[in-house]
Amino acid sequence: MNKLKNIRARLDQFKSLSEKQKFQEFQFCLLTPQSNAQRCWQAVEEISKLPTLEHKKVLDILSKKTRFHHTKTKRILESEKIWKEIKPLLDAKDALTLRNILAKKVNGYGLKEAAHFLRNIGLSNNKIAILDRHILKNLHELNLIPNAKIKSQKNYLEIEQIFISFADRMRISADELDLHWWSQENGEIFK
């Protein structure tokens, strides 16, 4: 149970981030699709030390840390502008509605990345799920879903409800179960 205590402490940290840290999480989730999470976080830390976001410097950092670095460089360069637009939306109380708005409004976010961002800033309220490989694999191994693939947005929402219901039955929050399964796979409690 020490692991669960550490997971809960990590989730509490997400709820007390500064404005700068929330923006870093926003950028982090722009970088994570099909890239290693730890390396993406390293890239965000390097980018945050830059005095200004310059194309060549951001591209140089991302080319060593992420896949699709040209596309992701454009997204990072646009991130400050987009952040100003979405920051006021974060006061909304309904995580599901907020996730869906972010998925449509932020270039580079889908349902998964928007959910990841909201979880990482403490706003998921256990109402949405980051349906990444580790969750899909575990749900499939438990025979809760027929395969570990998402076929459509509708299918994402169906699997999300299966995951949240399963977490409820296990008497653990969806966010806790997500971090638990992620740490089982990767050996650490991260993001």
What percent of the chain clears pLDDT 70, i.e. is strictly above it? 99
Q: Which domains does the chain have, with CATH numbers?
A: 2-120 (1.10.340.30), 133-186 (no CATH)
What b-and-e string marks burial along 9-30, b requiring 16 or more CB atoms within 10 Å of the CB? ebbeebeeeeeeebbbbbbbbb
Q: pLDDT tens-digit profile of 20-46?
A: 999 999 999 999 999 999 999 999 999
Is the Cα torsion angle 59, 101, 155, 23 positive or negative in sign? positive
Instruction: Answer yes or no: are the C-beta atoms of 181 and 167 closer than 8 Å.
Output: no
* Residue 92 confidence (pLDDT): 77
Residue in the structure block whose two tokens are 């945050």:
48
Q: Tell me: pLDDT of 142 over 60.
A: yes
* Contact (Cβ atoms closer than 8 angstroms) between residue 110 and residue 103: yes
Is pLDDT above 60 for 1?
A: no
Closest CA to 36 of 72, 60, 3, 5: 72
pTM here is 0.93
pLDDT for the residue numbered 66:
95
- Count the neighbouring beta carbons within 10 Å of the beta carbon of residue 96: 16
Tokens encoding 95: 């995580």
CB neighbourhood size of 103 (10 A): 18
Q: What is the DSSP string of 24-40?
A: HHHHHHHH-TTS-HHHH
Q: Are 47 and 20 in contact (CB under 8 A)?
A: no
Q: What is the pLDDT of residue 188?
A: 78
CA-nearest of 60, 64, 59, 94 to 76 is 59
**Each residue's pLDDT tens digit, 64-80:** 999 999 999 999 999 99
Residue positions annotated with a catalytic role? 112, 132
